[in-house]
Each structure stands twice: as structure tokens, then as C-alpha cells.
Amino acid sequence: MCTGRRKAIYTENIKRRIQPRFELCGGSVALDFVNTLDDRFSDAPKELLNDYVDLARFGEDTGTLADEQVDRLMTRSLQHRDEAKRALASAIQLREAISDIFYALVRKKPVPTAALIILNQHAQEAAQHLGLAPGKRGFEWKFDAQTNDLFAPLWPIARDAAELLASERMEFVRACASKTCEWLFVDESKNHRRRWCDMAKCGNRAKVKRFYRRNQRVI
């Protein structure tokens, strides 16, 4: 996991009412979403999405949902618990499909067809809720911020995953080189040689390990 010191480019301009709970160092909403299953490949993965409130909070932290929308969805999730459970289960299904696709590509393995079908379904569902609206620089595709649909947090994630997958940025998607971490991120460094999700944490830990190994040999 990263310390959050490396600010994701897409979250730089968010006006925050509270400090983010999620560590956003993936450089993409979809990759940060995959990283919500922490220590994914260890014997004891840590689930960071334990209820609907966590999912809505991810939307708030990444700026994909407006503050008032987050409040509305959180309140509604308490009144419609079964629907909220379905939305969370669907979000986890989406997350695991994105994970299967991106880790396969990073490891140069075949992309599982089932995962691609799931992402396609989510991306198509998301597209139904997009509309053109005036933005800061002309018109933009925006999701309906007035909706009370509890599945709304999933739409921008599915869209981001689909856009990243079909973009030139895809060749810079990496998994953190720390074997205990392996978080996904887009390497937007100048020379594209970034190895760690966060240098301050995973990078330094690797350096310390190398230092000890070297000294053991000398001794």
C-alpha cells in the first residue's frame, strides 16, 4: 500500500471536505479501485470495501461523486439495505474483473474472457447514464449527479477502466515491485521507470532490504 503522499493527477483539483480515507496513488480511478483489496496476493488480503458506506466514500475520495450525492446515497443505502448490498456485490464483481484484466496485461498473460465480458457489461450500463453537459471547457460527458441510484458509484469506475484499457496510457500500467504490495498504478514519470506504488513506503522498504543483504555478505 502507498502512503498517499504521491497525489494522483486526477485527484489534484478536488475540493475536499474531509481527508481521503483511501490511498490514491494509482493515477486512475479504476486502478485505485482494484487496490481496495489490499495485500491482494498475500495469504491474508485486506478488504477495504466492507459496506456500502465504504463504496460511497471511495466515490467521494476520488471525486467521482459530488459531496451532496455521497450524502444522499449513504442515507438511501440505510433505507434500502438489500439494494445497497446488491450494489456493493456488483462493485466487487466489477473490481475483480478489472483486476483480472489489468494484472493479466501487466504480466503479459492472456486476458480472461469472462472478466472482459463483465467489464463490458458494466461499461455499457455506465454509458446509459452519461449525458452531455456544459463544463469548464465546453461540453463534457457527465454522469447524472442528481440520481438516487445506488449503483451510481460503479459507473465512473467502469468507464475509467474501459477508457484506460483502450488508451495509450495502458502501456504504462504497472504493478508495484514490492511482492507484498503489487498495487497497480499508471507510471506517468518522465522516463517511465517508476517501480513502486509509492517510493516513500514500498521503495524505501526495498532499499533497506537490499542494504541489509549487502551488509550480511560483507560480514
Instruction: Name the site residues for Zn ion (rule: CB under 5 A).
Output: 176, 178, 181, 183, 197, 202
Of 23 and 160, the one with the shorter C-beta distance to Zn ion is 23
| Shortest distance in whole angstroms from residue 185 CB to Zn ion | 8
Nearest to 48 by CA among 1, 90, 15: 1
Nearer CB in complex with Zn ion: 136/193: 193
For residue 132, what is the enclosing H or E element?
strand 130-135
Q: CA torsion, points 39, 41, 47, 52, in degrees to nearest 10?
A: 120
Smallest gap from residue 1 Cβ to Zn ion (A): 6
Instruction: Please report how close the Cβ of residue 203 comes to Zn ion at its closest, in angstroms.
Output: 8
- The residue among 30 and 181 lying less far from Zn ion, judged by its C-beta, is 181
152 versus 197: smaller Cβ distance to Zn ion: 197
CA angle 23/26/29 to nearest 5° reads 90
Query: What distance in Å separates the CA atoms of residue 28 and residue 117, rounded to the nearest whole number?
Result: 21
Least distance (Å) from Zn ion to the CB of residue 214?
Answer: 22
Give the cell for residue 209. 532490504
